[in-house]
Amino acid sequence: MFPPRQDVLRLMPEIILSLSGILLMLIEPFLSGARRTLIVTLAALGSGLALVSTIYPATLPGTAFSGLLRIDGFSVFVHVVVEAVAFLVIIGSADYLDREKIQHGEYYALVLFATVGMCVMAGAAELMTAFVGLETSSISTYILAGYRRDVPRSNESAMKYFLLGSFATAFFLYGIALLYGATGTTQLARMTFPTTPGRERLLDLGLGLMLVGLAFKIAAAPFQLWTPDVYEGAPTPVTALMASGPKAAAFALLLRILATVGAAGTFWFWALWVSAALTMFVGNLAAIAQSNVKRMLAYSSISHAGYILVALAAAAASDQVELGVAAVLYYLAVYALMKLGAFIFVSQLGGESERHMEIDDFRGLAVRQPVAAACFALFLLSLLGLPVTSGFLGKFYIFNAALASRLIWLAVLLAINTVIAAFYYLRVIVVMYMRQPNQTWPPAPMPWAVTFVLSIAAAGTFYLGLFPGRVMALATQAALSLPGR
Amino acid sequence: MNQTHILSWILFTPLIGAIVLLFVPRQLDNAQRVIGNVFGFLGLAVSLPLIWRFQIGTPGYQFRENYDWIPSIGAHYSLGIDGISFLLVMLTTILGAISILSSWSAIQNRKKEYYILFLLLQTGMLGVFMALDFFLFYLFWEVMLVPMYFLIGVWGSDRRLYAAIKFFLYTLAGSVLMLLAILALYYRAHEVAGAGAAYTFDIPTSLGAVPQFSTTLQRILFWGFFFAFAIKVPMFPFHTWLPDAHTEAPTAGSVILAGVLLKMGTYGFIRFSLPLLPTDAVARQHIINILMVLSVVGIIYGALVCLMQKDMKKLIAYSSVSHLGFCTLGIFALNPHGVSGSVIQQINHGISTGALFLIVGVLYERRHTRMISEYGGLSTPMPNFAAIYLIATLSSLGLPLLNGFIGEFTILSGVFQVSLRWTAWAVVGIVLGAAYLLWLYQRVMFGPVTNPMNEHLPDLNMREYATLVPLMLLAFWIGIYPKPLFRVLDVPVRQIVEQVNPGYYNSATAQRWGEKPPVAAANDAARTESDSTKALAASAPPAIIAASSEPIAVNTAEKR
């Protein structure tokens, strides 16, 4: 009746996350307005505990629940990333929700449930499980995107995300069905190339549909159109979550399929190549034209998906998957930290009902709030990819993987995009540091919780930029732990 | 101080200063600049022991430090200097201390950030000259962009934002290409070394593998590195960022930009581009021809544009394009005179152009304008200033007994061995250089005081003397007794020339590089030698050059 004890331990982070989500929903009605801090504390505690409990899956690698989940270094790495994101987002949201007067327990519960979904996606060794994880995380984020109920923009965001997202999920599901038809299994490891004539076309079709579904989730061109509107309309801490967590999970799923199913690498390669090139250019060129910082960051996250796709294409092109996979994993960690930091900063600076998101509102911020401005400048420089920040090493590993797989043109396109991107990141820094402060609108000082999140993200950005050795070793181990084709 | 860590100390003293400044409260206005200056001078002080510890004549790199940094990719924290980088490191620490001192009263707002960024910039530039690992080199190369960008953008003059972004984008575009080239080199060097070898970013090891590459790859690598350096130098078609950045930057920023930053480009040419030249003679000659033409165009074009300028700072900025043209011309002459002359000229340019920018800064602080037409007849109210300005001008235009002459003469003698035509064109540049610099001096300093606001300008104060006089002393020293510099450069330059132009020391193939047949060259060498003995007795300036070239001449004779 009960699953073996080991399997339960392997699933410990997911269990803790789900239980604390449920607990939050249960106790919320019993708490009066003054006790709101208790909710935040509980939620942070839950995600923190989940992060700590990752030690169980880390020490007990293997498959769980009759092969539905595969707990290996890879899934543990992604677990740590998404759980850390959830932890930081929860802490960074508290003040925002207070200000917007939408401080409710279900917000945190939804963040936790979304994280459960992402964790399942990271560990899924079977496509139905992956689908369940994808849906759990997606549906939670649909609701979160519309969390500012009385703001039309937020509603628009949720609606758009929901409609297009379900459409994409349907593609994914149809892909699973076709794959099942072609290979007779939903277990990734057992999906060998079909010998029956005519089936291989089915396999290709299924793989193609799945790629479309996941490309939507990671906002890769030409499926990126929803991103700017959804990111802009959603409450900013939710945007921070969407930009880092679900993206990491969807990339993880892509990688696992790529590394496990032999046909995927060859079939996907050109699609990944073209999509990587398109995504980089679309994201960066559109970001240049933005005057709203939040929207600019949304476009920038599209372009970053393009950078990661370069490494993915490198993994697909070569027999040695691990170089590309490790580069993706490292970049995911790096990217999650810097993007999360940037969005949390913007969420605080935006002020009541996110009125101050225009680039002009950042004028002279360095004089008003030197520390916060320095943090934001650091994140921007890291997104741009300057040495000493983690963004550089992330990009370096991608370059490295691309050149090792002989994707020279893709590497050159990535280089060109770095320069294009410099233009809009620098513009924000120029406004913050080189213009006179805005007299009419003094930004509120940073509350301690936001400062905490910013300092963690900044410290991580420096650490990953100067001493990548340990984390990169973990990423490489994670890449090697994939079953291989 | 640990003997083996001297380079790290030099490298990180400014960084320590920046971190200390970070914790100085904003209210202590004066303390910020005092601490900034203290660390500026400490940076110079810790570099002084290099002067007597550096072993002249020892081949290879000295003061080496090597630690694992990112073992998985083979990146090391690896430092070391040879004669060339030794001189550039000293130039950086000297100019750094001077420019920090020159900011004392010029910078009035946000002093704390200013000094922090300046010290960070120091660390970045020193790192570029010291790094012996491509990864580390690239890191410093990119990192110094940020402080310079802020220095221009925050403390610059009217069009500073435009200039700052332009500077950043130009340089970034070049360096990203270089990163790709570094990676390509990294992989190919590993393939050449064989499957068992470890991946490494070590600069000597990687460059050592280059001769075994295919000509196509060598060519690709050369151009990959070329753009980063050409933009930094800047060579002729890539120079457009320079006038903007130099003009808009604060005085100290211009001094460092012209004095040190541009040298990173020429240093890159010597250290990386020369070993990357294709081994195939035709391909190599093709590249050399292009670079020579670009250098000569830069020399003459820069000088002509100078004649048209109304803004003093812009004029000096364009003069850098012209002067750096000489440096690249010398480098790609591929012979000892050319290369060592080029290094000397890089030092000279740092000294004299640095001084000229400081001089414009002196005027700007008094009148807040850089327009030449606003001045005139300044030698009456400011006689001491006039004297120093004159020395700087003469040193920049290459008058004998001053440093500029030594550099330009040595470069031209090197280029002469390759081609008479290029030498002739370059000499036109010298003439034009004298024209624009003297004309500028005349318009600003001579004649009656035309603008009543200039009648009572105060002469130099003590702090301004402290920034300018050391540079003048250096200018005289190099102009009168440059032998120590040539001795320092002798071995590293010979190593480089032997590596990239083995024919030079081998008379059988000498005619490929020189236009003269071997016999004429031998006569030449003999004449130089006898000249040098005669001239030494007279102790005239040309003697020193000849004397310095003596070991080379002897060496040629021996080989023959």
pLDDT at position A87 over 70 = yes
CA of A15, closest CA in chain B: separation in Å? 35
Long-range contacts, B1-7 (Cβ 8 Å, 24+): B1/B46, B1/B49, B3/B53, B4/B63, B4/B65, B5/B65, B6/B46, B6/B49, B6/B50, B6/B53, B6/B63, B7/B63, B7/B65, B7/B79, B7/B80, B7/B81, B7/B130
Contact B15, B106 (CB under 8 A): no
Is the peptide bond between A370 and the residue preceding it cis, with omega within 30 degrees of 0? no
**Which residues of A fall within a CB distance of 8 Å from B113?**
366
Instruction: Please check whether residue B176 touches A, CB under 8 A.
Output: yes
Measure Cα distances from B277 to A145, A157, A435, B204, B449 in Å.
57, 56, 46, 15, 55
Neighbour tally for A177: CB within 10 Å: 15
Q: Please state, for a pLDDT cut of 90, what percent of chain A lies above it.
A: 52
pLDDT at position B227 over 60 = yes
Instruction: Please check whether residue B160 touches A, CB under 8 A.
Output: yes
pLDDT digits (tens, 9 = 90+) for B74-96: 888 999 999 899 999 999 999 99
pLDDT at position B124 over 70 = yes
- Any idea which residue has 């009572």 for tokens? B456
In whole angstroms, how large is the CA radius of gyration of chain B?
A: 23
Torsion, Cα of B422, B427, B432, B433 (10° steps): 110
User: For A51-60, A98-107, A468-477, which range has the lowest pLDDT when averaged over its residues?
Assistant: A98-107
Query: What's chain B's average pLDDT?
Result: 84
Contact A140, A114 (CB under 8 A): yes
Contact B173, B231 (CB under 8 A): yes
Distance CA B436, CA B528 (A): 33
Neighbour tally for B487: CB within 10 Å: 14
CA of B289, closest CA in chain A: separation in Å? 27
Considering only alpha carbons, which residue of chain B is nearest residue A380? B146
Specify the pLDDT at position B156.
85
**Which residues of B fall within a CB distance of 8 Å from A366?**
113
pLDDT at position B194 over 80 = no
pLDDT at position B146 over 60 = yes
Considering only alpha carbons, which residue of chain B is nearest residue A396? B179
Specify the pLDDT at position A1.
59
pLDDT digits (tens, 9 = 90+) for B374-423: 888 888 888 899 999 999 999 998 888 898 899 999 999 999 988 888 89
- Interchain proximity A415–B179, CB inside 8 Å: yes
- Can you tell me the mean pLDDT for B209-229? 89
Contact B73, B135 (CB under 8 A): yes
Distance CA A438, CA A460 (A): 31
pLDDT band at B523 (very low <50, low <70, confident <90, very high): very low
For an interface test with B, the pick among A320, A368, A419 (most B C-beta atoms closer than 10 Å) comes out as A419
Specify the pLDDT at position A484.
67
Which alpha helices (DSSP H) does B103-214 contain, by range? 111-130, 134-143, 145-155, 160-193, 203-208
- Any idea which residue has 């300046």 for tokens? B118
Task: Write out A191-210 in H/E/C secondary structure.
Answer: CCCCCCCCHHHHHHHHHHHH
pLDDT at position A44 over 50 = yes
- Interchain proximity B183–A423, CB inside 8 Å: no
Considering only alpha carbons, which residue of chain B is nearest residue A392? B139
DSSP state of A446: P
- Can you tell me the mean pLDDT for A392-413? 90
- Can you tell me the mean pLDDT for B358-366? 90
User: For A310-319, B23-32, B177-186, which range has the lowest pLDDT when averaged over its residues?
Assistant: B23-32
In A347-446, at which residue ranges do the beta strands (DSSP E only) sit? none
Q: Look at phi and psi of residue A364 and say left if phi exceeds 0, alpha if psi is from -120 to 50, else beta.
A: left
Distance CA B400, CA B415 (A): 19
pLDDT band at B204 (very low <50, low <70, confident <90, very high): confident
- Interchain proximity A403–B164, CB inside 8 Å: no
Nearest 5 degrees, angle CA B351-CA B352-CA B355?
85
Specify the pLDDT at position A34.
60
Query: What's chain A's average pLDDT?
Result: 89
**Which residues of B fall within a CB distance of 8 Å from A470?**
none
Specify the pLDDT at position B390.
92
Distance CA A175, CA B337 (A): 70
Instruction: Please check whether residue B22 touches A, CB under 8 A.
Output: no
CA of A193, closest CA in chain B: separation in Å? 33
Specify the pLDDT at position A366.
83
Specify the pLDDT at position A182.
87
**Nearest CB neighbour to B169, from listed A367, A422, A433:** A422
pLDDT at position A213 over 90 = yes
pLDDT at position B554 over 60 = no
**Nearest CB neighbour to A430, from listed B153, B179, B180:** B153
**Burial of B310 by CB count in 10 Å (0-12 exposed, 13-18 middle, 19+ buried)?**
exposed
Backbone angles phi, psi at B131, to 5 degrees: -65, 135
pLDDT band at A110 (very low <50, low <70, confident <90, very high): very high
pLDDT at position A432 over 80 = yes
pLDDT digits (tens, 9 = 90+) for B286-321: 999 999 999 999 999 999 999 988 899 999 999 999
**Nearest CB neighbour to B161, from listed A396, A416, A430:** A430
- Can you tell me the mean pLDDT for B354-372? 90
pLDDT digits (tens, 9 = 90+) for A245-255: 999 999 999 99
The tokens describing A300, both together, are 């920038």
* pTM for this model (two decimals): 0.86
Considering only alpha carbons, which residue of chain A is nearest residue B162? A430
